Chains A and B, each alone.
Chain A
Amino acid sequence: MLKVRNCESGYGRLRVLKGISLHVSPGEIVTIIGANGAGKTTLLNTIAGIIKPGSGEIVFHDKDIGSLSAEKIVALGCALVPERRQVFDTLTVKENLILGAYLHFRKKRKKEALDELQSIYSLFPVLKQRESQLAGTLSGGEQQMLAIGRALMAKPDLLMMDEPSLGIAPLIVKTIFKTILTLRDNGVTILLIEQNAKAALNIADRGYVLETGQVVLEGTSRDLFDNHDVQRAYLGKDYKKINE
């Protein structure tokens, strides 16, 4: 579904990604783990078209999307849930969600978008309760649900999530990760970036380990769990103390 080949990207003269290759197949949950500054967010922003790649190929649904604008990429079915939610604080929950379906509204498919809204409400009932509340008044967890819901309003085939557990109460994190599994069961493919490597690997099929803009390891979640470097660096466990 998504194929990235030798992608280089960065900000101005700062090269962050130094030739990244990765792929995501339909129906997979793929995670990218790595320390702060490794280039995880840069990678997602590059795929989403927010940053233009310096070189390399990004192919989504057999189409080179490297030079497309962010909105065109969303229209092709690749949506991003940005880091730190970034919901519109001064709009209501419903307004935030409808903005996510902007493309559908513009194409006069209002009804479809409103149907979608109902399915988001059934996925996150709490959003229905807070429908007319301003997004800025929601808790962190609710805002995250809203951000996911907003991205889903575009009916993406591939949902990219940037650190959905950041700054959220552990109990809510569990709910969100469960939702990710539900989404996959509903046919959405997931590319997930997480600082919480353990939680991410628990739900992911495969993963990539990013270090200073390069992939240093690729494998199934089981392979990554069993890799001692991953254990030492990202699972916060001492050598040979992983019991899972």
Chain B
Amino acid sequence: MLYNKKMETMPQPDIEQLQIERLQSTLNRVYRNVAFYKHIFDEKKIDIEKLKSKQDLAGLPFTTREDLNNCYPYDMFAVPLRDIVRIHSTSGTTGKPVVVGYTKNDLRHWTECTARLLASAGITDHDVVQIAFHYDLFTGGFGFHQGAELIGASVIPASTSTLEKQILIMKDFKSTALVCTPSFAFHIAGMLEETNTHPENLFLKVGIFGAEPWSELMRDRIEKGLHVDSIDTYGLTEIIGPGVAGECEYHTGLHINEDHFIVEVVDTSTLEPVPTGNEGELVFTTITKEGFPLIRYRTGDIARIISTEPCECGRTFVRISRIIGRTDDMIFFEGVKILPAQIEEMLLDIKGIAPHFRIVIDREQEKDTIEIQVEISKTLSAIDELKYLESLRNSIAEKLEKKLGIQVKVSLAEPGSIRKEGKGKVRLVEDRRSVR
């Protein structure tokens, strides 16, 4: 179902005209209002008046996560704080959090963007939508909530309460749609099986999933386990939150809301645009945002453009594949993003261990676990003292938990067992969660 027929089915030449107009006005605004962009454009001698087409975007510098960290908290805002009506932020596990602000118009556009995703999943005012995303600084909960309300559905802000509670709500409140991360949906499906609750006893029709990469295999498991059709969505807080792109009922890729965002796919090493259809890093430019506009933001997500042709559903927006990887080793663990580099940084401060480690993620009894295996240092004299090793282990675990905010299992390994001398790069992350 289309939510905004005029926009979603606009012929590509008209979309391009709209994008150019909005891109030019966005550039004029960021140059006037955001010190970071004025500085970087001046420094690189970039004349924004010379930008005449979408292709000219390639001549502009990127905005990186690091740039955003340096602008913590409000330096990337393009309007005074009094014009901001909502503030969200990233979790901050991978460095300083990125704080994003929304003006009244930004909120309205965002709401429509998520409403479009929900509408394409078939949600109408007859649906009961259970949103099992966290409602806090994280954009997932509020983002979908607003969109579902705009459509007029009955919205249940279930947030991230326990699996038992979610299933209870699902049964008693007669939820017809579930909005959450794919891994959470998978856990729910597992719990149903465990408690011998047949999905036929539920009223679910569709699941709208996002916030972490997942596979077709996982989709299959969830769809079978919950007896639902599923819609993959894509979004990130820096760009707007959920609502950047989403699948339609034909599952032919994720339609990008092109009237609000321009997507580019660049080569991960040269950072040059790749030919349409090739894999690369997704780079987004926001073209309607007032509060927190970004030019060429490198997402770190790897995908490809599937098609620029109109889809069977009528939408003319360009379609991307699901996210197939990351440019870094970012781990998605229970909604928390972790970079191995951060863990390394923390381990470097601890005496008695070598900074060689491996991260193992697994699933035990339907719950994700994360284990960090660390080599002890060769020079550690007390290598045989069990008591000492135990306290070392505990102090590492405590430190990691404090920083990451999640339960971490730590195990110590013999010197040289993880990184063999003279051998090349070791695989830092082993994710055993992928459904076997």
Contact = CB atoms under 8 A, between A and B. Distances in A.
Interface in B1-59: 14, 17-18, 20-22, 24-25, 28-29, 32, 49-52
Contact of B49 (A19, A208, A209, A239): A19
A130 interface: no
Interface in A1-58: 3, 5-6, 18-19, 21-23
Interface in B283-341: 288, 290
Contacts of A5: 17, 20, 52
A23 B103 CA distance: 25
Contact of A218 (B25, B79, B80, B104): B25
Contacts of A19: 24, 49-52
A21 B290 contact: no
> How extensive is the interface on chain A, given as a class?
20 to 34
A229 B52 CA distance: 25
Interface in A201-218: 208-209, 211, 214-218
A218 B24 CA distance: 10
Nearest to B109: A223
Interface string A217-231: 111000100111100
Interface string B195-224: 000000000000000000000000000000
Contacts of B105: 219, 223, 226-227
Contacts of B25: 208-209, 214-218
A215 B288 contact: no
Nearest to B52: A6
A22 B17 CA distance: 8
A219 B17 contact: no
A229 B105 CA distance: 12
B79 A18 contact: no
Nearest to A213: B49
B21 A239 contact: no
B49 A229 contact: no
B400 to A, nearest CB: 44
A151 to B, nearest CB: 26
A171 B82 CA distance: 36
B149 interface: no
Contacts of B21: 21-23, 208, 215, 218
A223 B290 CA distance: 10
Contact of B290 (A3, A211, A227): A227
B125 interface: no
A23 B18 contact: yes
Interface in B116-142: none
Nearest to A217: B25
Contact of A229 (B22, B79, B108): B79
B49 A21 contact: no
A18 to B, nearest CB: 5
B83 interface: yes
Contacts of A3: 17
B20 A21 contact: yes
A211 B31 CA distance: 13
A215 B79 contact: no
Contacts of A215: 21, 24-25, 28
Nearest to B29: A216
Contacts of B290: 227
Contact of A228 (B17, B18, B50, B103): B103
A216 B20 contact: no
B29 A217 contact: yes
B60 to A, nearest CB: 15
Nearest to B10: A25
Contact of B32 (A21, A216, A223, A239): A216
Nearest to B27: A214
10 contacts: A5-B20, A6-B52, A21-B21, A208-B21, A214-B28, A215-B25, A218-B21, A219-B288, A227-B105, A228-B103
Given A19-B24, A208-B21, 5 more contacts: A6-B20, A23-B17, A215-B24, A223-B105, A226-B108
Interface of B: 14, 17-18, 20-22, 24-25, 28-29, 32, 49-52, 79-80, 82-83, 103-105, 108, 288, 290
Across chains A and B, which 7 residue pairs bring their CB atoms closest together, nearest first? A228-B83, A6-B52, A215-B25, A21-B21, A214-B28, A216-B28, A19-B49
